[in-house]
Structure 1
Amino acid sequence: MPELQQVLKDALMQEDCGWNMGSFGAIGEFHHVYGDPLPQEHAGLVQVTSRGGVRIDTLEGVRPVAYEMLSPKPHRWSQAVSLCLPQEDAAMYQRSVLTALGPDENALRDEDRGAWLFDMGLGQFQADFCIRTADPELLEVLNEHAGRSLFEQGNPAMGAILKAHPHRVVLTRIGRVEVYQMIGGPDTGGKSPEGPHTHVLPKLLKAERTHSANTPIPEGWVPCCGVHPENPVIGRLGEDKTFSRNAFDAFQVLLGEWGAETYSQGKQAVWDLLKAETPTEEAAEPTTREGRAGWRNGIRQWRVLHGPDQLSQAYAERFDRGAEQADPENPGH
């Protein structure tokens, strides 16, 4: 049985593992960049680079939920472990206006602890999405307009933030993600920088959801941190890569321990049929949504594990038809 603390400790030392905190519409992500220094050993559950960092402060009450999701690309699937808290324990402050919080004494790096933290007032349930700065010009603007919504017409604070590129700090009940790189936009050629970055999407924030409806989080639980172990078929930049059997096997252990039984049953059922060379007309997919997702990903994984053949092609054509809608929090993967 995998022990959560050790799984996370190991994951923090793996270059191909990504992390995020936030909610549906605003999220902070931490990833390693090819060519950067290797992950460093730290006391506790923390990893930090010159571009950003992540820290898990407590695992008390945390339930890990492992899952695989269908990709819009038929030869792929995504995978993650969400660290969840009961809804009543996950709630943060849900401020709706720009709010000064004072010096960030809990910053990951010593040199950032004198800089001021401001809650952007995005009103997220399980995350306080903040910026941090020691820039006198930006501080003047932020202090002058504290108490106002950043989205209020005529408020110059958001423009000043986008121009100054302060650190972004996403706080949850179990830890934080920090991003030191520039904010994606005109200054970055219109795309997020490689490695740690943030997304703030006001249209999605209006939905007031804690997570994407496609993410199989159990009722009454809220994801406070996303852990994305090395994907066996997708590289760090979202590119196709040579299948990694080690990465696949490692995640199957977590899925078996922390995943939904109906999903795994759906996957095992189609694997058994393919192994027995059962014709498609004798096969019946599961009746539950989770079971069907396991069935479809099972077909994809069988074709990667055993190589495509006529039978698995027939299963794919009958049961894995049409691309899933891309997850707005993970487009194109």
Structure 2
Amino acid sequence: MQHLEDVLRRGLNDPDAGWNMGSFGAIAEFHHVAGDAAPPRATALEQGTTRGAIRIDRLEGVRPVAYETLSPKTHRWTQGLSLCLPEAEAAMHRRDALTELGPDEGAIRPEDREAVLFDMGLAQPQVDFCIRTADPALLATLRAQAGRSLFEADNPAMPAILKAHPHRVALTRLGRVEVYQMIGGPETGGTSPEGPHTHVLPKLLRAGRTHSANTPIPEGWVPCAGFHPKSPVMGRLGEDKSFDEVAFEAFQSLLAAWGPEAYTAQKEQVWQALGTGTGPEAWREPDARVARAGLRNAIRQWRRRHGDSDLVAAWARAFDRGEGEADPENPGH
């Protein structure tokens, strides 16, 4: 049986792993950048670089949910481990206006603890999405606009934030992710910088959801942190790479311990059918969404592990034509 704390600690020391905290539409991510100096080895559930940091403060009551989701690219899939709490325990403050919270005494780095934290007022269920600054000019603007929505057309606070690039801090009941890098925009070529970064997507925020429908979180539970172990099919920047059997098997052990039974059972049954040379004509596509994803990813994974064949091509034509099912927060994956 996998021990969750050990799994997470190993992940914090793997430069190919990624992390996040947030909601559907407001998320802070922590990643290593190839070529950067290696951070110190994590002994607690905390890791940081000059670009950002993550700290997990609590595992009591956490339900880990391992999952694989479909990619719009039929030679890929994505994988992750969500750390979930019951809905009531996961709930944060849901402030709907810019709110000053005072000095960030819980900051991961001591030098950041006198800077002032402001809740951006995104009113998200499981995250207080904040900015942190000690810049006098930005502080004056934020304090003058406290109590207003950042999305009001005439509010000068949002332009000031985008110009000043303050730290972003995502707070959940499990801990925090801090991002020190610039906000993606004109000064970064219109894209998020490599490594730790944030996304605030108003269109997704309006949905009021805690997570993507593609992530099989059990009813009544809410993901408060995400761990993305090294992918067997993608590099750190989402580029294709040669299949990594070691990374694949490592995640399959997490999936066996904490994955949805309907998904894992469908994969095993499809692999058994492929292994015995059974064609797709005798197979019934399952009704449940999570099992259908298991069917399609089983075909993709068999192909990456064993190579192409007339048999696997027939299964793909029957059940994995590649349309739809993309995650709106990771459209290119």
Superposed CA deviations along residues 68-116 of structure 1, whole A, max 9, x for unmatched, are: 0010000000000000000000000000010000111111111111100
* C-alpha distance in 1 between matches for 2:220 and 2:211: 12
Partner SS, residue 101 of structure 1: strand
CA distance in 2, matches of 1:103, 1:118: 9
Could you tell me how far 1:284 is from its partner in structure 2? Answer: 2.4
1:201 corresponds to which residue?
A: 201
1:11 matched to 2:16? The reply is no
Distance 2:152 2:133 in 1: 22
1:290 Cα deviation after fit:
1.4
Equivalent residue runs for 1:169-318 within 5 Å? 169-318=169-318
Which residue in 2 is equivalent to 1:64? 64
Structure 1 match to 2:45: 45
Deviation at 1:321, TM superposition (A): 1.4
Match of 2:141 in 1: 141
| Partner AA of 1:140 in structure 2 | A
Deviation at 1:280? 2.1
Q: Paired residue for 1:330?
A: 330
SS of 2:270's equivalent in the other structure is: helix
Q: How much has 1:325 moved relative to structure 2?
A: 3.4
Identify the residue that residue 118 of structure 1 maps to in structure 2.
118
User: In structure 2, what is the Cα distance between the partners aligned to 1:276 and 1:325?
Assistant: 29
**How far apart, in 2, do the equivalents of 1:50 and 1:239 lie?**
24
| Matched positions, count | 333
What residue in structure 2 maps to residue 128 of structure 1? 128
Letter of the 1:254 partner, please give it: L
Partner secondary structure for residue 100 of structure 2: strand
Which secondary structure state, in structure 2, belongs to the residue aligned with residue 93 of structure 1? coil
RMSD between aligned alpha carbons?
0.9
The structural deviation recorded for 1:57 is 0.3
Q: Which ranges of 4 or more aligned residues in structure 1 deviate by more than 4 Å?
A: none
1:103 aligned to 2:114? Answer: no
The CA deviation at 1:43 is 4.2
Name the structure 2 match of 1:27. Answer: 27
- Determine the structure 2 residue equivalent to 1:161: 161
CA deviations 1:2-47 (Å, max 9, x no partner) are: 1000000000000011001110111000000010122322342000
SS at match of 2:79: strand
Q: Contact (CA 8 Å) 1:22, 1:224: kept in 2 or not?
A: yes
Which residue of 1 is the match for residue 76 of structure 2? 76
Q: Which amino acid in structure 1 is aligned with residue 281 of structure 2?
A: E
User: What do residues 287-312 of structure 1 show as CA deviations (whole Å, max 9, x unaligned)?
Assistant: 32211111110000001111111100
Give how far 1:314 is off.
0.7
- Looking at structure 2, the residues matched to 115 and 12 of structure 1 have their Cα atoms a distance apart, in angstroms, of 26
Q: Is contact 1:12–1:39 with CA below 8 Å preserved after alignment?
A: no
For residue 62 of structure 1, report the CA deviation from its aligned partner. Answer: 0.5
Mapped to 2, the partners of 1:263 and 1:301 lie a distance apart of 14
Q: Is the Cα–Cα contact under 8 Å of residues 66 and 80 in structure 2 kept in the other structure?
A: yes
Amino acid at match of 2:226: G
Contact (CA 8 Å) 2:55, 2:176: kept in 1 or not? Answer: yes
TM (norm. structure 1) is: 0.98
> What is the rounded CA distance, in whole Å, between the counterparts of 2:325 and 2:187 in structure 1?
30
Q: 272-281 vs 225-234, which deviates more? A: 272-281
Partners of 1:8 and 1:58 in 2: how far apart? Answer: 12
8 Å CA contact retained: 2:214, 2:325 = no
Task: Report the residue type matching 1:147 in the other structure.
Answer: G
- Shift, 1:274, TM fit: 0.5
Deviation per residue, 1:235-283 (Å, 9 max, x gap): 1100001111110000000000000111011111110110010122222
SS in 2 for 1:81: strand
2:67 counterpart letter in structure 1: Y
Contact 1:97 1:122 in 2 (8 A): yes
After TM superposition, the structure 1 = structure 2 runs for residues 79-94 of structure 1, keeping only pairs within 5 Å, are: 79-94=79-94
In the aligned structure 1, how far is the partner of 2:287 from the partner of 2:210?
Answer: 27
Amino acid at match of 2:31: H
| Distance in structure 1 (CA, Å) of the matches to 2:85 and 2:5 | 16
Percent identity, aligned pairs only, is 67
